[in-house]
Amino acid sequence: MSHLDDKIVYFGVINLNINGKTIGSVDIWRSVVTKEMFCEEKRLGILDIVDYIGMSKLSSDQKWAIAVNNKRAPQDSWKLVKIINNGNLSIQDSDGETMNTVKVVNYNIVDEDWWSLLVEKNINRTVDISNK
């Protein structure tokens, strides 16, 4: 089978809630051939399109994750990120300006202000981000 036979298909969603109210979601797409995942965040009430064309790819040492900042208002606290296995990760905050550096261990943010969840472990689930 060649790469021309590959198709990217809708694979699922993660709904993000605060106290039972949906504030956004992450749409997940997957390659039929390679099983590679592609993700896009959707914020309730935000209709802006992303600043790139096509599906954003991960490098071999990255996974899709949702990073949550405990210090922000709940509706502005989350961000779809490409998380690394181990080391320091720079995350642009949901304000679009502030950069934060967090420690990552085994694809999990270890920080007093931030926490994360892997997309691959939460497909077709609703996650309440007000309860870490």
| pLDDT reported for residue 29 | 95
Are 121 and 66 spatial neighbours (Cβ–Cβ below 8 Å)?
A: no
pLDDT band at 45 (very low <50, low <70, confident <90, very high): low
DSSP codes of every residue in 32-83: TTT--EEEEEEETT--PPPSSSSPPPPPTTEEEEEEEETTS-GGGSEEEEEE
- Amino acid in the structure at residue 1: M
Over its C-alpha atoms, the chain yields an Rg (Å, rounded) of 15
Q: Count of H helices and E strands in the chain?
A: 0, 10
| pLDDT reported for residue 9 | 93
Q: Which residue has the higher pLDDT, 114 or 5?
A: 114
| pLDDT tens, residue by residue, 85-122 | 999 999 988 777 889 999 999 999 999 999 999 999 99
Torsion of CA 22, 26, 32, 35, to 10 degrees: -120
Coil, strand or helix at 3: helix
pLDDT band at 124 (very low <50, low <70, confident <90, very high): very high
| pLDDT reported for residue 1 | 47
| pLDDT reported for residue 55 | 66
